[in-house]
Amino acid sequence: MPSVVFSMLRDLEVSAGMKVLEIGTGTGWNAALLAYRLGLENVTSIEVDAAVADTAREALRRFGLPVRVVTGDGLQGHRADAPYDRIIATCGLRGLPFAWVEQTRPGGLILAPWGTNYVHLDATVRLTVADDGQSASGRFLHPVEFMKLRAQRLAWPEHSEYVPEGAITSAARSSTVISAKDFGVEQFDAAAFAVGLQVRDCVRAVAEKRHGSQPVWFYSSACRSWAAVTFCDHGRKATVYQSGHRSLWDEVEAAWHWWDLSGRPGFGRFGLTVTAEGQTAWLDAPDHPVPLVG
Ligand SMILES: C[S@@+](CC[C@H](N)C(=O)[O-])C[C@H]1O[C@@H](n2cnc3c(N)ncnc32)[C@H](O)[C@@H]1O
């Protein structure tokens, strides 16, 4: 979507002479915009799909902006042209590789759509590489939704493998007073983003609303545990079903309460730090990590 492309380019804060690596060439349009602004010699774009890379290379050549398009896995970055002043990913991430931190100069920026497997949603995060080059840290900016980086695509849970015929009747049953609106079943809800940061290995699926009833399913990707909550219109309590080793709804509800008690923070109060050891999400400041549930 053009508005997302331009908003990300604005957030990338480029200026003359900067060297940029783009992950995910796609059509080549974003790479062309960067090259037009910064000069051909300052832009490298990497694309994992060889056919897509070839088409983009040809389109860029015909357009008169033959950007350097590398065919390869952007997860590794592209050491040959490093260090970069900026790295921009135009595919959604579930894990931000330390290689990008190593390939960005201290003070440089990494901009990427990032999220968890709990929902398909991403939020752009802008990390600044520390002076010692050993970490990168920064806040989330805007909710977005991107095609995911190839190696980090979710294998969507098969409902019938979790919930065979009749499983609902033998599941543990309870209720919750949280409403669908407060819980956040819409595409770009900060509540869902916050729950996903806390509950590991959990995938959420919002089913179609019928006759005032809104079922939401939760599947563990670490075992066959599942949960379902049926939100109702007219202020009635929602019914909860849970089955398996994990009490998935209890985990999700605890995570939601933490978000609620934290003042229902929006995307911009959350941030991410990436080091050689991994990535940590935080609220308000890097020394306030988002707690993990379960
Ligand atoms: C949303 S499109 C990018 C749009 C692009 N920037 C443009 O201007 O058209 C995402 C692209 O990321 C590519 N991609 C996915 N995983 C990748 C990876 N590991 N390394 C490099 N590219 C990847 C996809 O093949 C796809 O072309």
- Residue pLDDT, tens place only, 125-165: 999 999 999 999 999 999 999 999 999 999 999 999 999 99
Q: What is the pLDDT of residue 233?
A: 84
Question: What is the residue-level pLDDT of the chain in tens, covering all 294 positions?
Answer: 889 999 999 999 999 999 999 999 999 999 999 999 999 999 999 999 999 999 999 999 999 999 999 999 999 999 999 999 999 999 999 999 999 999 999 999 999 999 999 999 999 999 999 999 999 999 999 999 999 999 999 999 999 999 999 899 999 999 999 999 999 998 889 999 999 999 999 999 999 988 889 999 999 999 999 999 999 887 779 999 999 999 999 999 999 999 999 999 999 999 999 999 999 999 999 999 999 997
C-alpha closest to that of 217 among 191, 253, 241: 241
- Ligand 1 atom closest to the CA of 150, numbered from 1: 16
> Which residues of the chain are in CATH 3.30.160 domains?
159-261
* 3-class secondary structure, 130: coil
Q: What is the largest CA-CA distance in the chain?
A: 65
C-alpha closest to that of 213 among 237, 195, 184, 190: 237
Nearest CA to ligand 1 atom 27: 26
Q: What is the pLDDT of residue 138?
A: 98
Testing ligand 1's pocket by substitution, the residue of 5, 8, 25 carrying the most ligand atoms inside 8 A of its CB is 25
Q: What is the pLDDT of residue 211?
A: 87
Q: Give 56 Cα–ligand 1 centroid separation in angstroms.
A: 11
CB atoms within 10 A of CB 64: 9
Nearest CA to ligand 1 atom 13: 24
The structure tokens 């490298």 sit at 44
- Ligand 1 atom closest to the CA of 22, numbered from 1: 6
Class of domain 2-152+267-283: alpha beta
Q: What is the pLDDT of residue 273?
A: 98
What would you report as the CA-atom Rg of the chain, rounded to the nearest whole angstrom? 21
Peptide bond before residue 215 is cis, with ω within 30 degrees of 0? no
CA gap 201, 51 in Å, rounded: 33
Q: What is the pLDDT of residue 197?
A: 98
Q: What is the pLDDT of residue 287?
A: 97
Ranges of beta strands (E only) in 51-158 are 68-71, 84-89, 104-114, 122-129, 135-144
CA gap 126, 265 in Å, rounded: 18
CB under 8 Å to 252, separation ≥6 — which residues? 195, 199, 202, 204, 218, 227
Q: Give 241 Cα–ligand 1 centroid separation in angstroms.
A: 39
Nearest CA to ligand 1 atom 2: 26
CB under 8 Å to 25, separation ≥6 — which residues? 31, 45, 46, 47, 52, 53, 56, 69
Q: Which fold has domain 159-261?
A: Double Stranded RNA Binding Domain (3.30.160)
Q: Give 270 Cα–ligand 1 centroid separation in angstroms.
A: 25
CB 62 within 8 A of CB 11: no
Q: What is the pLDDT of residue 186?
A: 87
Q: Give 46 Cα–ligand 1 centroid separation in angstroms.
A: 8
Q: Which string of DSSP letters, residue by residue, matches 227-268?
A: EEEEEESTTPPEEEEEESSS-HHHHHHHHHHHHHHTT---GG
- Ligand 1 atom closest to the CA of 75, numbered from 1: 19
Beta strand 122-129 pairing with 238-243:
unpaired
> Which residues of the chain are in CATH 3.40.50.150 domains?
2-152+267-283
The structure tokens listed for 163 are 């919930």
C-alpha closest to that of 97 among 284, 277, 264, 294: 277
CA gap 34, 29 in Å, rounded: 9
- Ligand 1 atom closest to the CA of 33, numbered from 1: 8
- Ligand 1 atom closest to the CA of 73, numbered from 1: 20
Q: What is the pLDDT of residue 14?
A: 98
Q: What is the pLDDT of residue 294?
A: 76
